[in-house]
Each structure stands twice: as C-alpha cells, then as structure tokens.
Chain A
C-alpha cells in the first residue's frame, strides 16, 4: 500500500467531494478514509488514499488535482503520507 494524503481547503460549495472523488476513481486511486469539516464557512477535507493501483504518474495526479482545485476555487494538495508520519510520530 502506498498512502497519500489529499487535502482540500477553500470556500464551501456544492460538489467539492464529488469532483475530487470522481477524478480519484478515474485514476484508480482507492480512498481509505475521509474526514471533513466546515470551519467559519471554510471547507476543510483530508483524504487518506492508496495510490498503489494507480496507473497515472504521481506528479500528473498532483497537477490534475491542483487544476481541479483552481477550477472550483479551492486549494487541493496531494502529498505522500511519509512527510506527516515522519514529522508527527516518534
């Protein structure tokens, strides 16, 4: 399993999760966990995904997600999970 973290941050609106999930499904990325909240009208989402079955290039998926974010006016990042594991666990 190759875990990545997709984070979405921005103004809440209809269809954010749908758009991101549709793209991830097309890219054969498996979603393991989603947590989401609205803080002061701002949409925060964190997805844990598994990219081991992904056919596309990792950098390509990052770029595509960023583009989707730009289209709907939110900030989307996709990062390998190790950076968070390393920083926050002993």
Chain B
C-alpha cells in the first residue's frame, strides 16, 4: 500500500524530475493494403491508418489527465513500406507518393511521427527495396513526419555491404535535400543492424511482419528520476548504486506498464511491449550524461565512461523486467548527442569524441545517434562509420544503429540547430583517412561464427 510519502515522491518525479512516458506507439500492419494499383494502394493505406489511429491522440490525452503523467509523444509505426510497395512501385516517384500519403495520414490523426518508410536488406536487396532506399532523400525532403530506416545487417546473415555503401550516399543526398534546415532529413533516417520488430522509438520504429494487425507499444523514460535517485547514494558502493538504479527503473517501468494497459483497453488494441529505455531530451535534468557524471565521471567521455554506461544499462534492464512481463524494442540507455544537454557540453569541452561514442555503443542501446558531422564528409567515410557500427551489432548480437547528420555548409566549430526534441548539436570531427577501397568492394560480410567467443 502507498501513503503520503509515496504519493509525494511520484508527484515530485513528475513535476521536478521530468518523469514521463516518452511514447505510445501504435503499430499498424499494412499487409492487407497491398494492391497493384498505386492510387488504390495509397487510398487503402490512408484509410487503414485513419481508421485504426483515429482515437490514439485523444486516448493518450485522457490517460495523461486521469493519472497526471505526461505522455510526450503519440506515434505510429507501420509495416516496412518496401514490402507493401513491392508489387506496385516502379519508380522512386511512386515511393515518394506513398511517403506523402503517410505524412498526410499522420497529420490528420495528429501524431508527430510515423515510422516505417523502411527496407530490411540485411542479406541482399530486391529491386523494389533498392528503389525505396533511393527514394529516401526525396521522401525525407517533401514530408515532415515520416521516419525512415534501413536494416543492413544481422547476426544471422551478416552485413550487406552494398546497402551500407548505398546508405552512405543516401545520407549525403538527404542532407543536401534538406540543407536549408541544417540537413534535418538525416535526423529522420536510421541505419540498423539487428533492428527489432517492435521498437516504439523514432526514428527507427517500424512494425515487423511477425506482429499482429495492430499493437500498442510503449516507450518509458526517466533519466532525470534516475539522476535524482543516484544523488542519494553519492560516495557509496556499487551495490548501493545498482540498487538505486534498479528501484527507480522498476517504478518508471510500472508507470509505462499502467499507461500501456490503459491505452490497450481503451483502444481495444492488444498490448505488445514496454521498451525500457532511458531516453534523454534537451531539457536540463533529463540527461543520460548527467547520470554518468553522477556515477562519478568528471565528464562523459572520460576513462570509465563505458563501464559506467554498461552498469547503468544493465541495472535499468534488471529493474525494468521485474515491472513488466513483456519487454522489447530497444530497451537500454540512449546516447544521442543533440538530444542530451550533458552530451553536448561534453563534446564542447573536448571530453567526448566520435570514437568514444562508438565504444559506448558496445554496451548500450542503440548506436551513434544524432551526431552532426561536417557537411564535407565523404559518402564512403559515412559508409565506413556505418560498417563499424553494424559490425559491433553483428558480432555482439545486439541492435546497433547510426543516425549521422552531415550538415551541409557547416564544419567543426559550427552548431546545427534541429529544434524541439531533436535539439542542437556541435559539429564533431570525423577521422578523414580514407576507406574507399574497403567500401567499394561488392557483396556482403558473412555472418559471424557463434562459438569460440573471445
């Protein structure tokens, strides 16, 4: 039972420590929309999204009001469009038309992002999947709320290096097409290894083909709450530190579970998973970097950062799995740069580099996220960075991702401004030694051996 103290604690977390539910994401399968005629396909997609999601935002707002817990985003994930458009789309323009339809539907139902303009090409690309990937730069330029992702590798099938090479070029083109807004199109484009089917977080959300017709997935958050809890164990041992993280993660996840159950009941759509992620925002006190600094680092990026992050990530999961029986998605601490004031400060102070961030992605979800790099960075270099990150995911059997923004016209020393939850980012230097000969090889990196772990 709870009493005066517990009620006050919960409300303090909500009011002063940025406790919120980060997203209710409604997954909608579009498999039954497939049609040979583009205009019919668009019509079917539009109608299905409107019909399934018409009450999503209102229901989210009702739950917010009744429980007094902010639900920051209401979003939609859909079946990867490369599968839906395969029999219909014969050109880049055809895929762009579908992206526009998705954007329109998202605006009508009032969600801020719709994810699933995606292709899963971890082993090889079909003609249609390649077309979708080539349509991304234009689709990201002419839409506002559509998010795109490409899965280019997996632990089971290896890394599709042809897709990695193509993604480097696509990221460059997307940056060019949205150059006036500091290349913001790239903030809506993620390249994955081992992409999960049930991720509720953008920009990488899509609804896998193994999923139901519609499903509610919820992403929790709460870096500020964890940071505050850790202030009470300053100077104490690792056991006390771990206990504090676990207890907090449990409480935060329970709120997510409650919101998920309520949303599922009210919308009449089955509950899928809770994504146990610590997701920062640019708001002060809502930062993963601040947690790591509270654990004992002068700045994120200092020696010890990877170990501290590994500990944090593991304890969040241990506390969270006790609170919900269905955990999925990405589940871990996110370390985006532009969305976390502490990370931005660490970059500006010279403490945090791209290489250290890469090391950090070995022990947490998800990857090199929201990192602004010089606009002059070559496509092959971007592909090289993607390949490195995919290799980490493939070998370690975890999800990894890359969301890099080569900001057109800007270089180290400049700042890119994205606005809102996407924040702003100092341009980070990139190792300029070439990797063209490696990237220009054709084919794929074979799947790794799953024994002799060293």
State the A residues within 8 Å of B (CB). 5, 7, 35, 37, 44, 46, 58-59, 62, 77-80, 82-89
B2 and A85: CB pair below 8 A? Answer: yes
B257 within 8 A of A: yes
- Per the 8 Å Cβ criterion, residues 18-54 of B in contact with A are none
Contacts A7-B11, A46-B7: A89 and B65 contacting too (C-beta < 8 A)?
Answer: no
Name the CB-closest residue of B to A59.
B65
Question: CB within 8 A of B7: which of A7, A59, A80, A82?
Answer: A7
A35 and B66: CB pair below 8 A? Answer: no
B255 and A83: CB pair below 8 A? Answer: yes
B78 within 8 A of A: no
Most chain-B CB neighbours within 10 Å: which of A35, A80, A88?
A88
Contacts A5-B7, A7-B11, A82-B67: A89 and B2 contacting too (C-beta < 8 A)?
Answer: yes
Complex Cα distance, B66 from A80, in Å, reads: 6
- Per the 8 Å Cβ criterion, residues 200-216 of B in contact with A are none
State the B residues within 8 Å of A (CB). 1-4, 6-11, 62, 65-69, 251, 254-255, 257-258
Complex Cα distance, B114 from A32, in Å, reads: 44
Using Cβ atoms and an 8 Å threshold, which residues of chain A touch B254? 86-87
Say how far B452's CB is from chain A's closest CB, in angstroms.
42
Contacts A44-B4, A88-B2, A89-B1: A83 and B10 contacting too (C-beta < 8 A)?
Answer: yes
Residue pairs across A and B with CB atoms within 8 Å: the count is 58
Question: CB within 8 A of B68: which of A44, A83, A85?
Answer: A83
Using Cβ atoms and an 8 Å threshold, which residues of chain B touch A7? 7-8, 11
Complex Cα distance, B255 from A84, in Å, reads: 9
Contacts A7-B11, A87-B10: A82 and B258 contacting too (C-beta < 8 A)?
Answer: yes
Using Cβ atoms and an 8 Å threshold, which residues of chain A touch B257? 86
Using Cβ atoms and an 8 Å threshold, which residues of chain A touch B1? 89
Complex Cα distance, B283 from A71, in Å, reads: 30
A–B complex contacts, Cβ < 8 Å, 12 sampled: A5-B7, A7-B7, A46-B3, A46-B7, A62-B66, A77-B11, A83-B10, A83-B67, A83-B258, A87-B2, A88-B2, A88-B6
Using Cβ atoms and an 8 Å threshold, which residues of chain B touch A86? 254-255, 257-258
Say how far A23's CB is from chain B's closest CB, in angstroms.
18
Complex Cα distance, B1 from A37, in Å, reads: 20
Say how far A25's CB is from chain B's closest CB, in angstroms.
21
Say how far B132's CB is from chain A's closest CB, in angstroms.
41
Name the CB-closest residue of B to A36.
B4
Using Cβ atoms and an 8 Å threshold, which residues of chain A touch B6? 84, 87-88
Using Cβ atoms and an 8 Å threshold, which residues of chain B touch A59? 62, 65-66
